[in-house]
Amino acid sequence: PVRSRPGMLLKLENEPIVDFIDAEIRRQWVDHRIVPSPVADDQEWFRRIHLDIVGHIPTLAETEAFLAETSEKKRKDCLEKLLRSMDYARNWGSIWTNLLIGRRTPDRIDRKGLRKFLEDSFASNVPWHELVAKLISAEGSQRTNGAVNFLMAHLNEGGVPATSMTAKLFLGTQLQCTQCHNHPFNDWKQNQFWELNSFFQQTAVERKPSADGTTPGQALERYLT
């Protein structure tokens, strides 16, 4: 949680989700016997929040202006300003591109198209559940729908990689071992892995000429159906 001063949590419009996240963080502190770090001062907080949200440190002028500000809601205002910036969309578009397909672009995957889809989604503040739904149910051409590149990168081996990656990234659960047997450390069963996998087995990659006839030569455009 972000604090405005010792003992006072910074509220973002008093949204219930903030209270939920704060409670979950505190529970983890208790469960793992962690003593939380001291509250960051303005200078440290300002630098960290820029690195986390936009991926770079603030300028000297920005830092001096923030430190000179006396409003009690200046941290909240700073967060909202950064989340509205294109640097936020670019930074998190890059982070999630790496998470979804790796730092090395898989063969025949349109990395730029996927990244643009993500940047546009973050810039438009698309709700997370809608963004995820677009990624795991994407259809169409790589050229016109960047979201299809996530599944295209992982549909080999009967969609097993897509099953594992989806569970890891969007459910926070490692399911690789349940491909062969019940999970030894949680409640996931082998049949649940294949139930999830059956969703991806219904998706196929097809190669055909582009709809507008712009594909050069004999090359075929890749479609997800």
Instruction: Read off the pTM.
Output: 0.82
First to last CA, the chain: 42
For the chain, where are the E strands, in sequence order?
A: 3-5, 8-9, 140-141, 205-208, 221-224
Q: How far is it, in rounded angstroms, from Cα 47 to Cα 152?
A: 38
Residue with tokens 């936020």: 88
Angle ∠(3,8,9) on CA atoms, nearest 5: 50
Q: Cβ of 117: how many Cβ atoms within 10 Å? A: 25
- In the chain (225 residues long), the average pLDDT of successive 10-residue segments reads 38 71 92 93 96 97 97 94 96 97 91 96 95 94 92 90 91 78 76 86 80 57 82
